[in-house]
Amino acid sequence: MSVLVGKQAPNFSADAVVNGDFKTVSLSDFKGKYVLLFFYPLDFTFVCPTEMHAFQEKLADFKKLGTEVVGVSIDSKFSHAAWLKTKKTEGGIEGVEYPIVSDINKTISRDYDVLIPDAGIALRGAFLIDKEGVVRHQTVNDLPLGRNIDEFLRLTEALQFHEEHGEVCPANWSKGEKSMKPDESGLKAYFG
């Protein structure tokens, strides 16, 4: 497993479904914005639609943070479009508004090192990318383990707080809570 944190996020250009239309989406399209890029195994499966809807439910919160949400799987753009037309009650993702990228050649999944070669699908990888295109956080879950979308919001807020104030965010930090200066005196003051 490659650790991409601190490195430039691998750029890509691929077909996607955006607001019901087929478009070419590149990571470089989002330069100057934060990006939460997430991979999921397959359309028309079981844990995946729960995550797709959970990201959609928090999309306005991500937008308030200047963060674009982009989903990626190895399915075709046609499969994505069909899944987007399928009602939630039937296992579909109707109502999802963020771009869903087709990684049919598996190059993006390979570049982000989330591809399961023997299965030909991606693990549940998620990458928080800053405005300069640098990966600042990554997590990879096994197939049966759904993600907590609120944690990605918290991490985005922590990154932005650090960038603005230069202070660091301790364990379990949430917006509005105590931070610390990144030195010994800051640590002592935090615990003091």
Give the Cβ contact number of residue 47 at 10 Å.
Answer: 16
Chain center to CA of 46 = 19
Is-contact 147 126, C-beta < 8 A? Answer: yes
**Residue of 14, 36, 48, 149 marked catalytic:** 48
Q: State the Cα–Cα distance between residues 29 and 24, nearest whole angstrom.
A: 10
Task: Give yes or no: 169 in active site.
Answer: no
Buried b / exposed e along 141-176 (16+ C-beta atoms within 10 A): bebeeebebeebbbbbbbbbbbeeeebbbeeebeee
Annotated active-site positions, please? 48
